[in-house]
Every structure is written in structure tokens, then in C-alpha cells.
Chains A and B, each alone.
Chain A
């Protein structure tokens, strides 16, 4: 059953956004996040909302998938709203007991909530429309200039993709070891937190040993297939910008300019 888990949250369909180069999507997400922190008025958020809405429509991913990511930040969102709402000094609107809601506080709270929600939805669009593989490739290409500073970019990307490949295998292995231990009377369910953590030891030790053995085997296999780092390596699926990628860049850049002009300067 563990075999069927999908990594990340990629949503399989065919859309313009799916076909975009992962670099475009990475850069656009960063631009979008920056834009959220630039704008601080109503029109700015309206532009951001319109942009987000257009991208979501284009991506053909059901909106419910986007909202799913929101659950994990619900608490954070609540905190941000509550603190901003009650603790911002200014013109008092409502007050009861020791708490008072100010006009500025209300404004800040709403802005913070919208910002966080847009941020999460914006980055979900990227992870929902890009496979982890593609994401790693894009990251490798984007970070390439860092090689000048001796950052092992290729190695990092290779590690990420190997990790992705082995997560399902190690999960399956965990399942196997767990069953083997349960069959011999191990108890992973009952007891308090401390006891539960302790019962994980007989699970983790064999898992680690096996992971190291696998790593060793894999390294040998990679060497046997002439792997010698990123030098002299060609790509089977090289990232090449298509016309639509430049159009997307232009679109995102236009959006950023709009945000700066309307969200910051004019009002």
C-alpha cells in the first residue's frame, strides 16, 4: 500500500502551465511571493488575485487541491490574524474587556491573512504542476551560476533526485521491518510518547543499516555505469526554453510592473 504514495503533490493533467519550463515556474513563484510583499493596498491585492486566478484556470488543477495545502498553515494563519487584530495600536473600533480591535489592526490582519493564503496557493500551483524530477532539473539549471562559488550544484541535484527515487523503497522497507518486528511481539502502538519513541529503535536500526547498504550498492552501480560527477555529462532531457516560456516570463514581468505601479506608487 505504501508503494502507491505519490511524492510531492503533483497533479497529473496536460495544461499550458504543466508544459512550462520548470525554471519559469520557479522564477515566477519567487516573483509572485516578492510581489505579495511589495503591494500594500487593495488594488495591488486585486491584481495579485487576478493573476493567481488566471494561472489556476490555465493549470486546469481543481481549486480544491490548492486549498488542501492551506490546512497545514491554518494555525499559523490564525495566530497571525489574532495577534495583528488585537495587538496593533491605533484608532479603536470595538473594545471589550482588555482587548480592543483597531482600524489599523483590522487592516493588517486582513492583509496578513490574504498574503499568507496567496503565498501558499501560489507555491502550490508550482508543486502541483511540476514533477519532483522536473523541479530538481530546474533547480540545478537555475543554481548553475553558483558553481563559481564552488557550490556543488550538480551533486545537490543528484542527491535530491536519488532521495526521491529511494523514498518509496525505504518506506516499503520500513513497512516490512515493522511487520517483522510485530510478528515477533514488538509493540509500536501503545504507551506514552516516550515509550513509543523508544519502541522505534528496533525499527530504525535495521532501517539505517539497510539504507547504508543500499547507498553502498548504488554508488558501486553508478560507478560501474561510468558516473563521475557533473563534468562531461550530457542530458537526456535537457531543459530548453520554448516560445511559450519567454511569453510566460514576459507575462510575469508585466505582472510585477503592474504590482509596483498600482500597488505601491500610485496610491
Chain B
């Protein structure tokens, strides 16, 4: 069984007017069944309002399914007794770096999670050190979070989650508020975690270039999983992605256009190097 599994997951937001009468129901997640294997790097892609963030919030029991079930490491998220175990197993990083840092010093913030778990003081320090080193923020441990850049703050948030020793970490659009440099920093840190520590990563994003490193990609639209597969499989279907109002990375788009123009290129080219190789082969 995978680390995360959902079955027929449905979630409905209920809008109420001032008297509390139901004004309308929005189905944000509609019949999603998916399975994520331990150690994978999974990307969930989708346009605004596609339900990807709502799905993410189910993975560590911030939201509970209206219908269907979510299992995290074999535990049902609607089981109240397992709540804290689930939240420890599946850590979560949010979009706005300012609104998730609690401590006034970087190291104190990273220690916040372990403190909540009741980890002994000596071990907290060990965990803080290793987590900050894992995201490359160790030298900033005595700094105030207010003086860090967005990318640095987000890496501190990630360290705060891994200090809780989760098996899996869910990142809900962690790069949406960052500049390109900060985005690169964060994605590099996340990839390192997946490669080195073998932590399962679930990256929710709408940036195409961030998903090319993923083992598996889910594309969401209107609350359902519209596409599923490896990045290469997803990017070979440029037309369908356009239909879902998603941008395709420039290189992939260029390769696609060239192919449409009659060149014999393979489908799903992801990087500049691949395109150059393919073109060189054609030339020969």
C-alpha cells in the first residue's frame, strides 16, 4: 500500500448567507482516487480553482472528506484519534512564507514542530541542526525570519516540517509568492530532500517547469484528475494541456510546434539539452 491513497474523495464547500442558510454548494474535489508510493516525487498540477489546494489539505487532515476516504500511511484521516500521527506523517508547507513562521528566530521556528511533538530538548537541537543543514539554511539559524528573502523563508518552513521527521511532505504552491531565484532555491531544496532523505514529496503547483523532475504528475481540472502519468507522458499531449488552460514549458512548446511543422521529433521533450540532441540527430 502506498503512503497516501484516496478513494472516491469528494469535498464540498458550503456557502452560507448571513442567517446560516445554505446558499450554494461548490464541489471542489470530485471523485478523486489516487495512490502515491513511498519515496516518490509527485506533482499535482492545475489551474486556479482546479481543486488542487483543497486536495492537498486533505492529505494532512486539515480538511476532512465530505464523502470517500483518505488514508495516510494506512491511517484513515477521519479517525480523530490518529489526527496528530497523520499530521506528523504528512507535513505541510503553505504558500505564504510569512504566515507560517511562528518563531522569532530561525532555529526557534524549526524547533516549533518537535516541541509540539514532545521531543526531548537535546533531540530537538539535533533535529533543528540536521533540518536546517538539509535545506542549506544552517548559517542563518540565529537570524530573524523577517530579514530573510522569500526563498529563504520558504526553506525555513520546509526545515520546520522535516524536523518533525515526516514520511511525506506536501507543499501547497510553495513558490507562488516567490521570485524566480527564490523558486529555484526552494525546488532545489525539495529535490534534495527527495533524493537524499527519500522523503515522499507532493508538490502542488501551477508552474510547469517545476514538474519536470517529478516521478509522477497528476493534472487536476474542475476537481477531477484530468491527466495522470510521467512528466514526459503529460507533456506529449500539448493540445490537451492547452485545453486545460495550462502553459507548456517553452522548450516543449517549441518542439511541439517544430513537429507540427513537419520535423521528426520525439514527443514530450522537457529540457533544452534534449531538444538540442534531437535536432542534432535530425541534422545527421
- A164, A223, A227, A233: the one contacting B62 at CB < 8 Å is A223
Judge if A67 is at the interface, Cβ distance under 8 Å: no
A147 at the interface (CB under 8 A from B): no
A232 within 8 A of B: yes
Q: Which residue of chain A is the closest to B98 with respect to CB atoms?
A: A169
Determine if A185 is an interface residue (Cβ-Cβ < 8 Å): no
Q: Which of A39-47, A102-110, A213-221, A256-264 contacts B (4 or more CB under 8 A)?
A: A213-221
* Bound-state Cα–Cα, A129 to B100, Å: 29
* Candidates A165, A214, A220; contact of B104 at CB < 8 Å: A165
Evaluate contact between A3 and B146: CB separation under 8 angstroms: yes
Q: B234: CB under 8 A from chain A? A: no
**A236-B101 in contact (CB<8A):** no
B:90-109 near A, CB below 8 Å: 91-92, 94, 96, 98-105, 107-108
B104 touches A161 (CB 8 A): yes
Total cross-chain contacts (CB, 8 A): 91
**Which of B99, B118, B124, B145 meets A217, CB within 8 Å?**
B99
Total contacting residues, chain B, CB less than 8 A: 39
Mark B residues whose CB is within 8 Å of A: 60, 62, 84, 87-88, 91-92, 94, 96, 98-105, 107-108, 111-121, 124-125, 128, 145-147, 160-161, 164
Instruction: Give the distance in Å from the alpha carbon of A169 to the alpha carbon of B100 in the complex.
Output: 12
Chain B residues contacting A226 (CB-CB under 8 Å) are 84, 87-88, 113, 116-117, 164
Q: What would be 18 A-B contacts, judged by CB atoms less than 8 Å apart?
A: A133-B108, A161-B104, A164-B104, A169-B146, A217-B94, A221-B100, A223-B62, A223-B87, A224-B60, A224-B94, A225-B116, A225-B160, A226-B84, A226-B87, A226-B113, A226-B164, A227-B116, A234-B115
**Looking across the interface, which residue of chain A has its beta carbon closest to that of B107?**
A236
Whole-angstrom CA separation of A228 from B195 in the bound complex: 32
Contact between chains at A236 and B114 (CB < 8 Å): yes
Interface of A is mostly: helix
Report how far A52 CA is from B114 CA in the complex, Å: 41
A98, CB-defined interface residue at 8 Å: no
Q: A218-B99, A220-B94 are in contact. List 15 more A-B contacts (CB 8 A).
A: A162-B102, A169-B98, A169-B146, A213-B99, A222-B112, A225-B160, A225-B164, A226-B164, A227-B116, A233-B118, A234-B118, A235-B115, A236-B107, A236-B121, A238-B121
Residue of A with least CB distance to B170: A224
Q: For A221, list chain B residues within 8 Å (CB).
A: 92, 94, 99-100, 102
- Complex Cα distance A183/B34, Å? 49
Residue pair A224, B98 in contact (C-beta under 8 Å): no
Q: Tell me, rounded to whole Å, the shortest Cβ–Cβ distance linking B123 to chain A.
A: 9
Bound-state CA distance A127–B81 (Å) is 44
User: Is there contact, CB below 8 Å, between A217 and B102?
Assistant: no
Q: Does A237 contact B (CB under 8 A)?
A: yes
Total interface residues on A, CB under 8 Å, equals: 29
Q: Which residues of B contact A218 (CB under 8 A)?
A: 99-100, 102
**Shortest distance between the CB of B191 and any CB in chain A (Å):** 22
Contact A228–B84 (Cβ < 8 Å)? yes
B105 to chain A, nearest CB (A): 7
B interface: dominant SS: helix
Q: Check if A168 is an interface residue, CB within 8 A of chain B.
A: yes
Cα–Cα, bound, A235→B121 (Å):
6
Closest to A213 in B: B99
**Interface positions of A (Cβ within 8 A of B):** 3, 132-133, 161-162, 164-165, 168-169, 213-214, 217-218, 220-228, 232-238
**CA A17 – CA B115 in complex, angstroms?**
28
Which interface residue of A168, A169, A217, A221 has the most chain B CB atoms within 10 A? Answer: A221
Residues of B within 8 A of A236 (CB): 107-108, 111, 114-115, 121, 124-125, 128
How far apart are the CA atoms of A228 and B61 in the complex, in Å? 14
Q: Nearest Cβ distance between residue A159 and chain B, in whole angstroms? A: 12
A232→B94 CA distance, assembly (Å): 25
Within 8 Å by CB of A234, from B96, B120, B128, B145, lies B120
Q: Assuming the A-B contacts A227-B112, A236-B121, are A165 and B102 also in contact, with contact meaning beta carbons closer than 8 angstroms in the complex?
A: yes
Q: When the two chains form their complex, are residues A224 and B62 in contact, meaning their CB atoms are under 8 A apart?
A: yes
In the complex, chain A residues whose CB is within 8 Å of the CB of B146: 3, 168-169
CB distance from A1 to the nearest CB of B (A): 13
A254 to B114, CA, bound (A): 41
A161 contacts across to B, CB distance below 8 A: 104
3 A-B pairs with least C-beta separation: A236-B111, A221-B100, A217-B99
Q: How far is the CA of A12 from the CA of B17 in the complex (A)?
A: 53
The answer to whether A222 and B84 have CB atoms under 8 Å apart is no
Residues of B within 8 A of A235 (CB): 115, 121
Assess whether A165 is in contact with B101, with CB atoms less than 8 Å apart.
yes
Contacts of B103 in A (CB 8 A): 165
**Distance to closest chain A CB from B81 (angstroms):** 13
Instruction: Verify B91–A217 contact, CB threshold 8 A.
Output: no
How far is B86's CA from A226's CA once the two chains are assembled, in angstroms? 9
In the bound complex, residues from chain B placing their C-beta under 8 Å from that of A165 are 101-104, 145
Q: Is the CB of A214 within 8 A of B116?
A: no
Residues from chain A with a CB closer than 8 A to the CB of B98 are 169, 214
